[in-house]
Each structure stands twice: as C-alpha cells, then as structure tokens.
Amino acid sequence: MFGFLSNLFSNKNKHEAINQLMQQGAIILDVRTSAEFSNGHISGAKNIPLQVLNGKIANLKKEGKPIITCCASGMRSGSATSLLKSNGIQSINGGSWTSLQQILKSK
C-alpha cells in the first residue's frame, strides 16, 4: 500500500518536474538507436543514441537548456541522465518515450 502511494506521489512530482522543464524550453533527448527512433518518436525530439552521447556533451552544454531524456523502457535514459548531470547539465529521466509522450500530451 505504501509503495503504491509512494509511486503515486513520485509520478506526480515527475510530471510536475517535466512540465516545469518544458516551460523552460527543455530539449527532449531520445537516446535509442537511430533505427528505433525511426520506428516512432516524440515530435521535435533529438536523437542521440546513448552509445555516442558522451561525444555530444559539449554541444548540448552550448544549448544551455535543460534536457528530458527518454528511450524504450527508461533504462538507457536513466544512464543518459546520470551522464548529463555529471557534466553539469540539468536533466531528468522521462522514462519510455511513449510514457513521456503521454505526459506531454496531458499538460
């Protein structure tokens, strides 16, 4: 029961955080492979596969915007978020791209 309530509140906070970052002009960063991205993605999202993200950090820093990461399940986007944060970029793991798309549509 408490786990359910905890998830409910953390999801609400995550939605609020995502909406707040979007108001700040956040970049949606899809870290799936190009092939996965071409099979469906959030409109306007940037595709930088996790495998090459480290080499793109400087360019992302230059944009000066917060980043919301997404992937297929939330695992790769979690890794991407950690990498971005360790390089001083404000970032949040948006989870799966389909879940993130629903959050963005509901605002």
- Are 102 and 56 in contact by the 8 Å Cβ rule? The answer is no
Domains of the chain from N-terminus onward: 2-106 (3.40.250.10)
The pLDDT assigned to 47 comes to 98
Place of tokens 């605002």: 107
The pLDDT assigned to 61 comes to 96
The pLDDT assigned to 106 comes to 83
Tokens of 6: 């905890």
pTM for the whole structure? 0.89
The pLDDT assigned to 54 comes to 97
Residues of the chain with pLDDT under 50: 1-9
Q: Strands 91-96 and 27-30, how do they pair?
A: unpaired
Give 54's contacts (C-beta < 8 A, 6+ positions apart).
Answer: 83
